[in-house]
């Protein structure tokens, strides 16, 4: 999502809502090859790691037709399943524009793809992160409703100057969320499923804390954008996530204004601890 709160005008060539054509025919063979390399690595690694909603969505959307998918083809199936669509944007868009799209069941996706020398790390979300990472979950009816509700909540938080806490909810759920299942922990966050290394680290590494989802506790927790997460929040079900966010956040924001942030690697007496992390990875990097 955009971290940019300024009211900017769209760049030349973009529509008023910042969308552009995907221009699928303009991708080069090398760009399609990058998609296929990334797709195959993750498709091989994610069974038993990503949650069923993600894996089912990935299969339903048929994102492996031999290269970067054509948004028109995705949208035919996605629209039928949950009424969502993917729209191309030139890069990060202002928060208000981003939320407005989500509130209308449109997911803004970058159309560019990383270069072959950047398979593992890039700063701006590209089409692989945005489409492979985010779009499969949008085939799930409950998650689809959550994302629309987030868009509406984002517009509201923006008007009230409360985006700070709400952005953490996006980060620790949509981007880096884990789900508890009878078979074990599974990934649903787009930032994890689209990362070859973090899709192992998030589940297997002894370093990070894994804590039960608690809305206000999570909203008090800062996050890092430059490295693997030091804490993951684990939901019991997608339905439980949606239910926890149906309440009016007005009183939540009021309470948060009085509360201190929780240090990123802290564990509180009230936390439901799934893993007490060693933080060895983070300590070695600092
Ligand atoms: N219930 C939130 C509010 O009142 C909206 C919201 C829903 C925010 C889902 C995030 C996710 O603002
Ligand atoms: Fe993302």
pLDDT at 276 over 80: yes
What are the domain boundaries of the chain? Answer: 11-285
**Beta pairing, strands 231-235 & 178-181:** parallel
Contact in structure between 68 and 150 (CB atoms under 8 Å): no
CATH dotted code for 11-285: 1.10.800.10
pLDDT at 230 over 60: yes
Q: What residues have a C-beta under 5 A from ligand 2, the ion?
A: 190
Please name the residue that has the structure tokens 């804490």. 231
Q: Tokens in use for 246?
A: 């149906």
- The rounded Å distance from CA 8 to ligand 2 centre is 21
132-168: pLDDT as tens digits: 999 999 999 999 999 999 999 999 999 999 999 999 9
In 3D space, the residue among 29, 31, 33, 51 whose CA is nearest the CA of residue 41 turns out to be 33
Contact in structure between 107 and 18 (CB atoms under 8 Å): no
36-84: pLDDT as tens digits: 999 999 999 999 999 999 999 999 999 988 899 999 999 999 999 999 9
Rounded Cα distance, 68 and 104, in Å: 25
Higher pLDDT, 121 or 243: 243
Label residue 6 by pLDDT band (50, 70, 90): low
Which of 146, 150, 245 most suits a substitution to test ligand 1, by most atoms within 8 Å of the C-beta?
A: 245
Residue ranges of E strands in 222-272: 231-235
Give the Å distances, CA to CA, from 83 to 77, 148, 229, 284: 9, 11, 32, 45
Q: Mean pLDDT across the chain, nearest whole number?
A: 96
- The rounded Å distance from CA 35 to ligand 1 centre is 34
Contact in structure between 233 and 212 (CB atoms under 8 Å): yes
Please name the residue that has the structure tokens 């091989």. 44
Q: Which ligand is nearest to the CA of 242?
A: 1
Look at ligand 1, atom 4, and give the residue with the nearest C-alpha: 248
- The rounded Å distance from CA 162 to ligand 1 centre is 12
Rounded Cα distance, 162 and 253, in Å: 7
Distance of CA 179 to the CA centre of its chain: 14
Look at ligand 1, atom 6, and give the residue with the nearest C-alpha: 153
């Amino acid at each position: 999502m955009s971290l940019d709160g300024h009211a900017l005008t769209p760049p030349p060539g973009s529509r008023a809502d910042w969308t552009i054509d995907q221009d699928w025919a303009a991708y080069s063979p090398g760009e399609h090859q990058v998609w296929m390399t990334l797709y195959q690595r993750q498709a091989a690694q994610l069974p038993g790691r990503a949650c069923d909603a993600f894996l089912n969505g990935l299969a339903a959307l048929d994102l492996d037709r031999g290269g970067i998918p054509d948004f028109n083809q995705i949208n035919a199936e996605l629209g039928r399943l949950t009424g969502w669509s993917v729209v191309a944007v030139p890069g990060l868009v202002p928060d208000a524009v981003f939320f407005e799209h989500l509130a209308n069941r449109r997911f803004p996706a970058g159309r560019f793809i990383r270069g072959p020398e950047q398979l593992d790390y890039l700063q701006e979300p590209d089409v692989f992160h945005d489409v492979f990472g985010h779009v499969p979950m949008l085939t799930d009816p409950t998650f689809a409703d959550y994302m629309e509700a987030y868009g509406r909540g984002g517009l509201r938080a923006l008007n009230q100057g409360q985006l700070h806490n709400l952005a953490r909810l996006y980060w620790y759920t949509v981007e880096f969320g884990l789900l508890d299942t009878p078979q074990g922990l599974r990934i649903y966050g787009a930032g994890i499923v689209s990362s070859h290394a973090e899709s192992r680290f998030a589940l297997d590494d002894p370093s990070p804390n894994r804590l039960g989802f608690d809305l206000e506790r999570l909203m008090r927790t800062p996050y890092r954008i430059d490295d693997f997460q030091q804490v993951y929040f684990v939901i019991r079900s997608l339905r439980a996530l949606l239910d926890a966010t149906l309440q009016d956040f007005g009183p939540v924001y009021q309470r948060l204004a009085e509360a201190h942030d929780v240090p990123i690697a802290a564990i509180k007496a009230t936390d439901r601890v799934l893993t007490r992390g060693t933080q060895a990875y983070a300590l070695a990097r600092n």
